[in-house]
C-alpha cells in the first residue's frame, strides 16, 4: 500500500469517527436522559455533600439516604458526621434510611451525635437519595446510585428544594424512630414477654450487631423500658387538678426522647356523644346530656359518660398494635371502676399518674376556665375542635366530682406499685415542679432496664 493511500484511509477513518461523535452530541441534546447521566466516583459525590455540610450558612438538613454507610475507617464519612452534628446544633438534622444492618449501624453512629433518625421499614431499596440543605440559599443534592456507581446532581434554589422537602415530610411521617425500630427487634426476639434475662441478652446481641455506643444504647433502653412496662400511661384526677398540663408536658418530654406519642382524652368522645344527641343523630349516644353556656354540657349521672369511655378504651386497644406510647386522660369519681373498662391486658402493662389538688384550688381553676369549642368551616366540612380548658358547669363539678379516691387507687391490685401521685396545689407558670416530678417518673421506668446492661 502506498503511503498516500494509508494517509487517505486514516483521515477517512478519523472523519467517520468525528461525524459519529457530532451525530451523537446532536442526538443527546434532543433526547431527554432517563437518569442522572454523569457518573462519578463515590469519593467525588461524598466530597460534594461534605462541602455543603460544612458551609456556615446551612442551618438545616433533611436527607433521604437509603444506602447510608457507617463511617468505620472512612475519614470523609467521619467528617460528614461531624459537620452534620454542627448543623444539628443550629436548626436540626433529620434523616430517613432503610432497615438493613449497614444502614442501621450507620444510623446508630448518627444517633450518638444527637441526630434524629427514622427508618422507612417498608423500603427495601431505592436508587435515589437526596439531601436538602436549607439556609440563606437552598441546595439539593440528588444521587442516582447504580450498582457501585453514583450519578449525582446539584440543584440550587427554593423551587427544587420545596419539591423534595414535600416528599421528605411524607416519608418522615410514615417512618419510625430508629430507637423504636431497634427496640422492636429486641421485643420480637423474646420468647417470654417481659423476661428481663432475655431482654439483657437481646440487648447485648443488639449492641454487638450494630456497634452501639453508650449513648445509642441508652436511647434504645428507654424505648424498651416504656414499650415493655408502660406502653399506656393513664393520667387521672378530679377536674381542675391539672391533668391536661401533666399529660401535655409528659408528651413533650417523651417526644423529645424520640418516642411517638398519642394523646387521648375521654372529653373528645363525650363531646362527640353530646353533638350526636343535640342533632338527634343517634338515640343511643348522648343520652342524659344537656347543653350549657359556652359550648359546655351537663350530665346527671356518670353512667351517661360510659359510651365515651368505651370508645376511648377501643382506641387504646387499637394502639397496642403500634409502637406509640399512649397517654390517656380522664376524670371519674370512681377511677377504679373506669379503669376496669380497659381490661386486664392493658392494666397489666400500664402506669398511672394521679394528679391532686385541694377543692379550693380546683374550684378556682375551673372558674377561670372557659375556652369554648372552635368551629371551622372548610366546605363541605365543619370541624369542631375542643379545648383542654373547656368549661365545666359548677353543678357537675359539685355533684359528680367530690371525693378523690387516690387512697383506694394506689393499693388496687390491678395497678398497685405503678401509681404515681403528683401534687399540683400551687400554680406553677413555668412548670418546674411538674417537670421535676415527670423526670422522676421517666427515670423510675427506665432505671431497672438500664441496670440490665450495666
Q: Write the pLDDT tens digit of every residue in 296-351.
A: 888 888 899 999 999 999 999 999 989 999 999 999 989 999 999 999 999 999 99
Max avg pLDDT among 13-27, 28-42, 163-177, 398-412: 163-177
* Predicted confidence (pLDDT) at residue 196 exceeds the cutoff of 90: no
Cβ distance 154 to 139 under 8 Å? Answer: yes
Domain spans of the chain, in order of start: 42-174, 230-423
Q: CATH class for domain 42-174? A: alpha beta
The average confidence (pLDDT) of the chain is 88
d(CA 354, CA 332): 12
CATH code given to domain 230-423: 3.40.50.300
How confident is the model at residue 35, as a pLDDT? 46
d(CA 119, CA 177): 6
How confident is the model at residue 4, as a pLDDT? 54
- Quick one: pLDDT band at residue 282, thresholds 50, 70, 90? confident
The DSSP 8-state label assigned to residue 304 in this structure reads G
Range of weakest confidence among 19-28, 196-205, 351-360: 19-28
Mean pLDDT of 183-205: 89
d(CA 105, CA 406): 46
* Residue percentage of the chain with pLDDT more than 70: 90
Same fold, 42-174 and 230-423: no
Mean pLDDT of 11-25: 49
* Predicted confidence (pLDDT) at residue 7 exceeds the cutoff of 50: no
* Predicted confidence (pLDDT) at residue 444 exceeds the cutoff of 60: yes
How confident is the model at residue 281, as a pLDDT? 83
Mean pLDDT of 80-101: 96
Q: Which helix (H) or strand (E) is 325 found in, with range?
A: strand 325-329
How confident is the model at residue 18, as a pLDDT? 52
Cβ distance 212 to 110 under 8 Å? Answer: no
* Predicted confidence (pLDDT) at residue 23 exceeds the cutoff of 50: no
Mean pLDDT of 169-196: 92
d(CA 416, CA 409): 8
pTM of the model: 0.86
Encode pLDDT of 231-271 as tens digits: 999 999 999 999 999 999 999 999 999 999 999 999 999 99
d(CA 406, CA 22): 87
395: cis peptide before it, omega within 30°?
A: no
- Quick one: pLDDT band at residue 10, thresholds 50, 70, 90? very low
The DSSP 8-state label assigned to residue 376 in this structure reads E
* Residue percentage of the chain with pLDDT more than 90: 61
* Predicted confidence (pLDDT) at residue 43 exceeds the cutoff of 60: yes
Cβ distance 84 to 61 under 8 Å? Answer: yes
Amino acid at each position: 500500500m502506498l503511503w498516500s493511500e494509508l494517509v487517505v484511509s486514516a483521515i477517512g477513518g478519523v472523519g467517520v469517527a468525528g461525524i459519529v461523535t457530532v451525530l451523537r452530541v446532536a442526538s443527546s441534546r434532543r433526547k431527554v436522559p432517563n437518569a442522572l447521566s454523569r457518573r462519578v466516583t463515590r469519593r467525588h459525590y461524598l466530597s460534594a455533600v461534605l462541602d455543603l455540610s460544612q458551609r456556615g450558612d446551612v442551618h438545616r438538613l433533611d436527607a433521604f439516604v437509603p444506602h447510608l454507610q457507617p463511617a468505620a475507617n472512612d475519614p470523609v464519612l467521619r467528617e460528614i458526621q461531624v459537620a452534620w452534628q454542627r448543623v444539628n446544633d443550629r436548626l436540626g438534622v433529620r434523616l430517613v434510611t432503610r432497615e438493613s444492618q449497614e444502614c442501621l449501624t450507620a444510623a446508630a453512629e448518627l444517633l450518638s451525635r444527637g441526630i434524629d433518625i427514622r427508618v422507612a421499614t417498608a423500603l427495601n431499596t431505592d436508587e435515589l437519595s437526596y439531601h436538602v440543605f436549607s439556609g440563606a440559599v437552598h441546595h439539593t443534592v440528588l444521587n442516582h446510585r447504580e450498582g457501585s456507581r453514583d450519578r449525582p446532581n446539584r440543584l440550587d434554589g427554593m423551587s427544587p428544594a420545596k419539591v423534595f422537602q414535600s416528599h421528605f415530610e411524607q416519608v418522615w411521617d410514615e417512618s419510625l424512630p430508629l430507637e423504636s425500630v431497634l427496640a422492636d427487634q429486641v421485643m420480637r426476639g423474646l420468647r417470654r414477654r417481659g423476661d428481663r434475662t432475655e431482654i439483657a441478652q437481646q440487648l447485648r446481641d443488639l449492641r454487638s450487631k450494630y456497634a452501639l455506643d453508650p449513648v445509642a444504647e441508652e436511647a434504645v433502653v428507654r424505648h424498651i423500658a416504656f414499650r415493655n412496662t408502660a406502653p399506656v400511661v393513664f393520667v387521672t384526677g378530679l377536674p381542675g387538678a391539672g391533668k391536661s398540663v401533666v399529660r401535655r408536658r409528659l408528651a413533650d418530654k417523651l417526644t423529645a426522647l424520640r418516642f411517638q406519642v398519642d394523646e387521648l382524652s375521654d372529653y373528645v368522645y363525650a363531646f362527640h356523644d353530646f353533638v350526636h344527641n343535640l342533632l338527634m343523630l343517634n338515640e343511643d349516644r348522648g343520652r342524659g346530656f344537656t347543653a350549657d353556656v359556652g359550648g359546655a354540657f351537663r350530665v346527671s349521672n356518670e353512667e351517661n359518660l360510659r359510651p365515651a369511655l368505651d370508645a376511648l378504651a377501643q382506641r387504646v386497644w387499637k394502639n397496642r398494635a403500634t409502637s406509640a406510647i399512649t397517654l390517656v386522660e380522664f376524670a371519674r369519681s370512681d377511677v377504679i371502676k373506669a379503669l376496669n373498662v380497659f381490661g386486664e391486658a392493658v392494666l397489666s402493662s400500664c402506669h398511672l399518674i394521679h394528679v391532686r389538688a385541694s377543692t379550693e384550688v380546683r374550684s378556682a381553676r375551673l372558674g377561670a376556665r372557659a375556652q369554648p369549642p372552635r368551629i371551622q368551616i372548610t366546605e363541605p366540612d365543619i370541624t369542631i375542635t375542643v379545648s383542654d380548658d373547656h368549661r365545666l358547669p359548677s353543678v357537675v363539678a359539685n355533684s359528680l366530682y367530690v371525693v378523690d379516691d387516690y387512697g383506694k387507687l394506689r393499693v388496687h391490685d390491678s395497678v398497685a406499685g405503678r401509681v404515681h401521685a403528683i401534687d399540683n396545689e400551687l400554680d406553677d407558670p413555668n412548670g418546674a415542679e411538674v417537670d421535676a416530678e415527670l423526670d422522676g417518673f421517666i427515670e423510675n421506668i427506665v432505671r431497672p432496664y438500664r441496670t440490665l446492661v450495666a
